[in-house]
Amino acid sequence: MIPLSLNAHAEHLLRDLAPQVLGAVLRRFRDFGASEDAVQEALIAAATQWPREGVPDNPRGWMIQVASRRLADHVRSEAARRRREAVVVSLVPPEQQIAAAADAADDERDDTLVLLFMCCHPALSTPSAIALTLRAVGGLTTAEIATAFLVPEATMAQRISRAKQSIKASGVPFQMPTPEERTQRLDAVLHVLYLIFNEGYTASSGPALSRTDLSGEAIRLTRAVHALLPDDGEVAGLLALMLLTDARRAARTGPAGELIPLDQQDRSLWDQRAIAEGVALVTATLSRGSVGEYQLQAAIAAVHDEAARVEDTDWPQILALYGVLKRMSDNPMVALNHAIATAMVHGPAAGLELLRALDADGRLAGNHRLDAVRAHLLEQAGDREAAIACFRRAAGRTASLPERNYLMAQAARLSDALEQP
Amino acid sequence: MKYMLMMNTPGGGPYQIANWPQKDIQAHIAFMMSFNKKLGESGELVGAEGLAGPDQARLVRAGKDGKPITDGVFPEAKEFLAGYWIVDVESPERAYEIAAQASAAPGPGGAPLNMAIEVRQVMSGPPKDWP
């Protein structure tokens, strides 16, 4: 959608304006699907006209006007089929209203939030919510979203169109949820943003020629939510978690795209500015006495990021944080990480003991991460043969190619060492 | 014209490659990555995917009620599909050339594996006009 000739500033502006414009148009026309299409057309118009004619004085008003005109044309031609004359007359006032409203910017902040609540509605499947959020709130084109998720554009277009139909069918009104609903809906919004971030962060498969930067997009959107709800601890926690994780991006893969685990990363490549911002965010929210899962995960990421060398890592602190997290959440992945921290503080045997409890739990049965962690702990405990078997089993079970390559290399490293003592 | 290049690797237990020495595994992975990169740069790569191990494979048939009946796992399979490329090339000869390069991927000791690559044309040509 956004041509190369548009500078970074204008591109950023367009992405920020997209949800505000959609919100403004939606409040008046109430048809989500048609409004969303009209805003996409306005974005394309801006991307082609602004480089030639310059950015207008009031870009938001300009885009609302263009989108409204498209929408009015659309409604007019639809209506013409039914009752031409009567409808054309009734269409004039809304158009005038919109022209006036373009200057009144009071609602723009809430609009972005309402739109997020709408796109992350529980009536939608998670993949639909993700796609719709990226398009309606993030201002990405269908082609960009399709590229990011490595699916054909037609598939993504269909997914978005079905999501829009579900919203229309469910009759979700375009308004702020009630205070009772709000916490639950905010959880859904944060979860969608978290998944978008993770998709961008862990995706290293595929030819990776022109993958849209999903992690960057998730951070930008979470930043926007944090600006709207500065006092919400979990929003701040999620933003901090993303920043503290993304800070390690450059150190996470080697020259050939191979995975480099945390304890072997070149820490001089970590983004110190992102770390400082993340640490400040999570420190501020925890000091207000607020505790939540994202905040705890961010606090753990902060402890890792603050260690200049791997041997400086404050494992007792990490273990304590995982202990709190484990009491709050019944997630077996948390229990797995708790076992790793336990091994780092109390030795591999203590960690392996906790893994046996996870075997009995059954929810991680067949999960490659359980085998991978066991392999690492067995190696620390000196049982190389068992470690090799676990690394190989984990390699056979992962669906991620870089991860499989990493696990196979670990098995080979140990078996090389066995042969040449 | 588009071709699918299917890499079949001999069975005998999952992931023979996991038993290679570390430097041979690394050389093999590096070869595959640069092979894919070159295909992308020449504008011939349509898609490529590696498949998860055969120890997770299932055969599925519809039962009388239309519900899935699954069969498997098949650890003893003689050979299995490990991954595929779809390329868009000028001629079948070019597809064979690419397949031969993939077949020569380095194995233990750096010697070419010469594994069999099945080459099949993808039916994506435009329909001919009917008289």
Q: Which of A140, A167, A107, A126 is nearest to A39 (CA)?
A: A140
A339: distance to nearest CA of chain B, Å? 27
**In the predicted model, what is the mean pLDDT of chain A?**
83
pLDDT, greater one: A125 or A385: A385
Q: CB of A330 within 8 Å of any CB in chain B?
A: no
Rounded to 5 degrees, φ, ψ at A418 are -65, -35
Residues of A in contact with B15 (CB under 8 A): 392, 395-396, 408
The strand pairing partners of A245, in sequence order, are: none
Contact B17, A408 (CB under 8 A): yes
Query: For the segment B40-72, what is each residue's pLDDT rounded down to a tens digit?
Result: 888 899 888 888 877 778 889 999 998 988 887
**What local confidence, expressed as pLDDT, does residue A109 receive?**
60
A301: distance to nearest CA of chain B, Å? 30
Residues of B in contact with A153 (CB under 8 A): none
Q: CB of A413 within 8 Å of any CB in chain B?
A: yes
Element (H, E) at B9: strand B2-10
Answer yes or no: pTM beyond 0.80: no
Residues of B in contact with A257 (CB under 8 A): 33
A385: distance to nearest CA of chain B, Å? 13
Contact A153, A146 (CB under 8 A): yes
Find which of B16, B24, B33 to mutate to test the A interface (most A CBs within 10 Å of its CB).
B33
Determine whether A41 is exposed, middle or buried from the number of CB atoms within 10 Å of its CB (0-12, 13-18, 19+): middle
Q: CB of B50 within 8 Å of any CB in chain A?
A: yes
Q: CB of A269 within 8 Å of any CB in chain B?
A: no
Cα-based distances in Å from B89 to A88, B50, B100, B117, B128:
54, 21, 15, 16, 20
Contact B55 A256 (CB under 8 A): no
Sheet of B79-88: strand order equals B45-50, B79-88, B2-10, B117-121
Which of A256, A258, A416 faces B22 most closely, judged by CB atoms? A416
In this structure, the number of other CB atoms found within 10 A of the CB of residue A168 comes to 14
Residues of A in contact with B24 (CB under 8 A): 412
Pure H helices in A247-383: 249-252, 272-287, 293-305, 315-328, 332-346, 348-361, 368-380
B89: distance to nearest CA of chain A, Å? 18
The pLDDT of A78-107, averaged and rounded, is 50
Name the percent of chain A lying above pLDDT 70. 88
Element (H, E) at A49: helix A32-53
**What local confidence, expressed as pLDDT, does residue A80 receive?**
65
Q: CB of B8 within 8 Å of any CB in chain A?
A: no
Query: For the segment A53-67, what is each residue's pLDDT rounded down to a tens digit?
Result: 888 888 888 988 888
The pLDDT of A263-289, averaged and rounded, is 94
Report the range of poorest mean pLDDT among A154-163, A263-272, B7-16, B74-83: B7-16
Q: CB of B12 within 8 Å of any CB in chain A?
A: no
A186-195, A340-349, A365-374: which is most confident: A340-349
Report the range of poorest mean pLDDT among A121-135, A169-183, A238-252: A169-183
pLDDT, greater one: B27 or A148: B27
Q: CB of A415 within 8 Å of any CB in chain B?
A: yes
Q: How many helices (H) and strands (E) does chain A have?
A: 19, 0
pLDDT of B19 strictly over 90? no
Contact A401 B53 (CB under 8 A): no
pLDDT, greater one: A93 or A108: A108
Contact A408 B25 (CB under 8 A): yes
Contact B87, B46 (CB under 8 A): yes
Query: For the segment A12-29, what is each residue's pLDDT rounded down to a tens digit?
Result: 788 888 888 888 888 887
Contact B52 A256 (CB under 8 A): no
Task: Give dist(CA A146, CA A71) in Å, integer.
Answer: 25
Q: What value of ipTM does the predicted structure carry?
A: 0.74
Query: For the segment A99-155, what is each residue's pLDDT rounded down to a tens digit?
Result: 434 444 445 567 788 888 888 887 788 888 889 998 888 888 888 888 777 778 888
For residue B17, name the pLDDT band (cuts at 50, 70, 90).
confident
The strand pairing partners of B62, in sequence order, are: B68
Task: Give dist(CA A397, CA A395) in Å, integer.
Answer: 5
**What local confidence, expressed as pLDDT, does residue A143 receive?**
84
H, E, C per residue of A328-362: HCCCHHHHHHHHHHHHHHHCHHHHHHHHHHHHHHC
Task: Give dist(CA A194, CA A242) in Å, integer.
Answer: 8
Q: CB of A416 within 8 Å of any CB in chain B?
A: yes
Q: How many CA atoms lie within 13 A of A316 on its CB side?
A: 0
Query: For the segment A178-235, what is each residue's pLDDT rounded down to a tens digit?
Result: 878 888 889 889 989 998 888 777 654 444 433 557 888 899 999 989 988 899 999 9
